């Protein structure tokens, strides 16, 4: 993973092949990781099954597809 900061102060991650997880105090999570030429997103509300909440960003048409 490579980390840098943009000119406007945002953190930018590159080469994220192991997921990065954001978690709220309540236990809700969103994980993102890179796959080939796109990004996969795992949405995990607290208490939900982790099997049913994977999405793929389609970089060709700008949509999000359920996996």
pLDDT in tens, 6-59: 999 999 999 999 989 999 999 999 999 998 889 999 999 998 876 668 999 999
- 49 vs 5, higher pLDDT: 5
* Phi-psi sector, 28: left (phi>0), alpha (psi -120 to 50), beta: beta
Alpha helices in 7-49 (DSSP H): none
CA dihedral 4, 27, 24, 19 (to 10 degrees): 10
How many whole angstroms separate alpha carbon 27 and alpha carbon 16?
A: 22
């Amino acid at each position: 993973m490579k980390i840098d900061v943009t000119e406007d102060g945002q953190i930018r991650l590159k080469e994220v092949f192991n997921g990065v997880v954001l978690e709220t105090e309540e236990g809700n999570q969103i994980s993102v990781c890179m796959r080939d030429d796109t990004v996969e997103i795992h949405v995990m509300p607290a208490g939900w099954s982790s099997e049913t909440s994977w999405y793929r960003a389609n970089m060709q048409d700008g949509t999000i597809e359920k996996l």
